[in-house]
Structure 1
C-alpha cells in the first residue's frame, strides 16, 4: 500500500483529490458502480492499467473507506471488490465529470478502447433528464448489452449484459446514436422521436420515455 500523498491544503476539494485524484481511481469507481467485481474482471475492463497499479489503487481505496474486499461464498472461491456507501457517493461526481467531459469526447479514435457498459452513465443521465425516476432499463447495442437501475439508492447502478429479469423498458439503438447522446450532440428524446431508438416494454420507465416523444 502506497503512502497517501497530500496537497496539504485546508480545502475540501484538495482533501477530496488527496483520496480520489490518483490516476485510475475514479475509473475503478466507475466499474464498481456495476456491483461487486473480481480483480480479473476489473483488469479486463480497464485496458491500459498495469496489474501493480490496479492492485495498489484497490488497496488505497480499501484504506480510504471507498471499497471493500470479500470472498464469495461456496462454491465460489474468488474475492470481489465492491464500493462502500462512501464510495457510492462518488456517483454524482462521476456524472458531473461525464457531463463536463462531453465536449472533450469527440469522435472515436482508432486507439480508443470501447466497452458497451461505458455508455451506462451517460444513458442514465439522459434518462433522468427525460424525467424517468426509477426502473430497470435494458440497453441493446451492437457493442453489447447493459442494463440500468434508474433511481437506485442502494446496490448496483448498472450492470453489464442483459437484465436478469424483465425490464421496465428496453432501448435498442446503434453505437453511433449512443455515442452522439454521450457527446451531448443528440438528446434521448430526439433520438426516439427520429426513430433512431426502438423503445420496448410496458413498465413505467417505457411509458415515461414514450410520453415525452
Structure 2
C-alpha cells in the first residue's frame, strides 16, 4: 500500500482528490456501483489497467474506506470488492462527471473499448420512477435499479427478476443518449427506444 499523496491544501475539494484523484480510482468506483465484483471481473471491465495498478488502487481504496474486500461463502469461496457507504456516496459525483463529459465523448475511436453496462449511468440519469429496468442493446444486456438509495445501481446481464420496464435500443441510440445529443423521452417518441412493462419507469416513458 503506497503512502497517500496529498495536495496539502486546506480545501475539501483538494482533500477529496487526495482520496479519489488518482488515475483509475473513479473508474473502479463506476464498476463497483454494480455491486460486489471479483478482481478478475474488475480487470476484465477496465481494459488498459495493469494488474499492479489495479491491485494498488484497490488497496488504497480499502485504506481510505471507499471500498472493502470480503470472502464469499462456499461454494463460491472467492474474494470480492464492494463499495462502502462512503464509496456509494460517490454516485452523484460520477453522474456529474458523466454529464460534464458528454461533449467530450464524440464518435467512438477505433481504439475505444466499450462495455454494455457503461451505458447504464447515462440511462439512469434519464429515468424517472423507481423500479428495476432491463436494457437490451447491440453490445449486450444490463439492468438498472432506478431510484435505488443503497446497494447496486446497475448490473450486467438480464434482470434477476421480472423487471418493471424493459428498454430495447441499438448501440447508436445508446451512444447518442450518452453524448447528450438525444433525450430518452425524445428517443421513445421517435421509436428509437421500445418500452415494455407495467412499472413506474415504463409508464412514465410511455406517457411522454
TM-score, normalised by the number of residues in structure 2: 0.99
Are residues 1:210 and 2:195 paired? no
1:183 aligns with 2:183: no
Aligned counterparts of 2:70 and 2:152: Cα–Cα separation in 1: 16
Q: In the TM superposition, what are the counterparts of 1:16-165 in structure 2 within 5 Å?
A: 16-127=16-127, 132-165=128-161
Distance 1:182 1:158 in 2: 16
Between stretches 32-41 and 133-142, larger displacement belongs to 133-142
Matches of 1:41 and 1:174, distance apart in 2: 25
2:201 & 2:10 partners in 1: Cα distance?
44
Q: How big is the shift at 1:76?
A: 1.2
Q: 2:65·2:84 contact (CA, 8 Å) conserved in 1?
A: yes
Structure 1 unpaired stretches of 5+:
none
1:110-152 CA distances to partner (integer Å, 9 max, x unpaired)?
000000000000000111xxxx131101110110001000111
TM-score w.r.t. structure 1 length? 0.97
- CA displacement at 1:169 relative to structure 2: 0.4
The question of whether the paired residues in 1 share the 8 Å contact of 2:71 and 2:78 is answered with yes
Tell me how many residue pairs correspond in the alignment: 208
1:47 aligned counterpart, secondary structure? coil
Match of 1:9 in 2: 9
The 3-state SS of whatever aligns with 2:101 is: helix
Deviation at 1:206, TM superposition (A): 0.6
For structure 2, the residue ranges without an aligned partner over 5 or more in a row are none
Distance 1:55 1:175 in 2: 32
CA contact 2:126–2:184 (8 Å) conserved in 1: yes
**Using the alignment, how far apart are the partners of 1:109 and 1:7 within structure 2?**
34
Runs of 4+ in 1 over 3 A off after TM superposition: none
* Correspondence 1:169 to 2:169: no
